[in-house]
Amino acid sequence: MDLIYMNSQKEDVGILQDYSFDLAFGADENDFECKIPRNNHCCEGGYFLYIEGTEYGGIIDDIAVDTEAEEVTYHGRTWHGFLDSKCIVPLLEGEQSTADVTLKLTDSGGESYVDKYLIISGEANKVLAWLINRLDLGSLFSVSEDDSGINITEYRFDRYVMAYDGIAKMLAVSGAKLKLNYHEGIVAMNAEAIVDYSQDEQFDSDLISLKIRNYYSPVNHLICLGQGELSEREVIHLYTDESGNISKNQTITGIKEVVETYDYSMASTAEELELNGIKKLKELWNQDSIETDFDSNSNSFDIGDVVGAVDQITGMQGTATISKKIVTINGYETLITYKVGEK
pTM of the model: 0.80
What are the residues whose beta carbons fall under 8 Å from the beta carbon of 299, sequence distance 6 or more? 336
Q: How many CA atoms lie within 13 A of 243 on its CB side?
A: 2
Is the pLDDT at 342 greater than 90? The verdict is no
**Rounded Cα gap, residues 58 and 69, in angstroms:** 25
Is the pLDDT at 332 greater than 80? The verdict is no
| 3-state helix/strand/coil string of 242-308 | CCCCEECCCCCCHHHCCEEEEECCCCCCHHHHHHHHHHHHHHHHCCCEEEEEEEECCCCCCCCCEEE
Identify the H or E element spanning 165: helix 163-173
User: Under a CB-based contact definition with an 8 Å cutoff, are residues 188 and 181 in contact?
Assistant: yes
Model confidence over 7-46: pLDDT tens digits?
999 999 999 999 999 999 987 789 999 999 999 999 999 9
Q: What per-residue confidence (pLDDT) applies to 343?
A: 47
**Rounded Cα gap, residues 175 and 195, in angstroms:** 9
**Rounded Cα gap, residues 161 and 87, in angstroms:** 6
Is the pLDDT at 163 greater than 80? The verdict is yes
Of 58, 148, 133, 124, which is closest to residue 88 (Cα–Cα)? 133
DSSP state of 160: T
Q: What per-residue confidence (pLDDT) applies to 201?
A: 66
**Rounded Cα gap, residues 221 and 260, in angstroms:** 7
User: Under a CB-based contact definition with an 8 Å cutoff, are residues 236 and 226 in contact?
Assistant: yes
